[in-house]
Amino acid sequence: MKSKLSRMQSGTLRELGRVAFAMLFAFAAGAVFLMAIGSNPLTIYGAIFAKAFGSFDSTLRRATPLMLSGLAIAIPLQTGMFNMGGEGQIIAGALTAAVVGASDLGLPAGLHAAAAIAAAMAVGAVLSGLPGLLKITRGANEVVTTLMLNSIVSYIVTWLVLNPFKGTDYSPQSKKILPAAEIPTFGKLDFSWGLLIALALCVLTHLFFRSTAKGLEMRAAGAGPAAARYLGINNKLLCLLAMALGGAVASMGGALEVLGGQHAYFDEFFTNYGFDGIAIAYMAGSHPLGIIVTALIISMIRVGALAISRTTGMSPYFVTMLQGLIIILLVTPRFAGTVLSLVRRRFPARKKEEGGAA
């Protein structure tokens, strides 16, 4: 038992170490790029981190839906499925939570919020479960179907928030949720108890895939479908389950932001949250605990980038490009690992040369 636990801890540390190295490599590459165009990396990165840590409660708040967006990708990946519909699932879950939260259900505080979250998760499970069902019954590529659903859901949600669920004539938003549906914040801090829910879900997902029979079956279905079928594992059912869980988690991310932050649905607020989830999941190697770290990184970049154009005079378009550069490098951990391997090989070679010369 102790040896198994030590192996799990060692594997987790290796994953987190790989993410940390990839992050450092990405920021180093970004610094080289900044120097090449005549900018001071210390000034730019200083502005990013000053804003990100100076408003760390805002960083944690933005990291909450990003964690769940990353999990929405990582869970289906365990079975070899790719959920590209996180963008639509997040906004659908957010609007659902806003509508349920604004409805007088006669529920006390806590239960009203739970009902709104449950409704949002149900919508997300349907949106991702449908492409999963088409995949296992008709062979439809889930990447294409989930990606196309993003646009469909986006337009439907925009129409809904501008018409039947319009909350004001001055901006495209829903009605404010009732106080009973609000998730409380930590005093005057910007983030809510939703952060703890997201953290707990990351930990529970890790334990599920590492320590339960069903989790191991899902991993087996993704690692070797033919071998899994030979062992009597129902690959199709597990793929469908993973897709539904991924969509439910994504929609929960939107719901937590609405119930614990905005207290209403604002159209286009969640732009790119779903696509950032892809980067977050791949940066972490689909490791649920690594997703906590990588979601914080993306959140820091998002929050910190707001201050760059004001404090350094740099164009906001360049900030977007810089974010893209960092994310691209972060989602290529194999490249960073290759560089690290080359460095490790090089140092022993130098030692041998020095020893031979002596």
The whole-model pTM stands at 0.84
Is residue 185 classed as helix, strand or coil in its secondary structure? strand
In the chain, domain spans: 2-347
Residue of 122, 98, 126, 92 lying closest to 258 (CA atoms): 98
Query: What tens-digit pLDDT sequence spans the chain (358 residues)?
Result: 555 556 556 666 666 666 677 677 777 877 888 888 788 888 888 888 888 888 888 889 999 999 999 999 999 999 989 999 889 999 999 999 999 999 988 899 889 999 999 999 999 999 999 999 999 999 899 999 999 999 999 999 999 999 999 988 888 899 999 999 999 988 788 888 999 999 999 999 999 998 898 888 888 888 888 877 877 888 889 999 999 999 999 999 999 999 998 899 998 888 889 888 988 888 788 889 889 988 998 888 888 877 776 777 676 666 677 667 666 766 665 555 566 566 666 666 444 444 444 4
| Largest interatomic CA distance in the chain | 84
- In angstroms, the CA 121 to CA 89 distance is 9
Would the CA dihedral through 28, 329, 291, 247 be positive or negative? positive
- In angstroms, the CA 107 to CA 105 distance is 5
Residue of 274, 288, 279, 296 lying closest to 332 (CA atoms): 279
Is residue 192 classed as helix, strand or coil in its secondary structure? strand
CATH 1.10.3470 fits 2-347, yes or no: yes
The type of residue at 113 is A
- pLDDT for the residue 358: 45
- pLDDT for the residue 275: 86
Residue pair 141/239 in contact by the 8 Å Cβ criterion? no
Residue pair 202/67 in contact by the 8 Å Cβ criterion? yes
The pair phi, psi for residue 305, each rounded to 5°, is -65, -25
Integer angstrom CA distances of residue 21 from 35, 41, 242, 277, 332: 21, 19, 29, 20, 11
Residue of 358, 190, 162 lying closest to 265 (CA atoms): 162
Residue pair 156/91 in contact by the 8 Å Cβ criterion? no
- pLDDT for the residue 90: 96
Would the CA dihedral through 189, 272, 103, 117 be positive or negative? negative
Residue 258, C-beta contacts closer than 8 angstroms, at least 6 positions apart: 94, 97, 98, 101, 177, 264, 265
* Number of continuous H segments (helices) and E segments (strands) in the chain: 14, 0
Residue of 324, 320, 328 lying closest to 283 (CA atoms): 328
- In angstroms, the CA 121 to CA 92 distance is 9
Residue pair 239/81 in contact by the 8 Å Cβ criterion? yes
The pair phi, psi for residue 109, each rounded to 5°, is -60, 140
Q: What is the dihedral of CA 175, 258, 124, 154, to 10 degrees?
A: 60
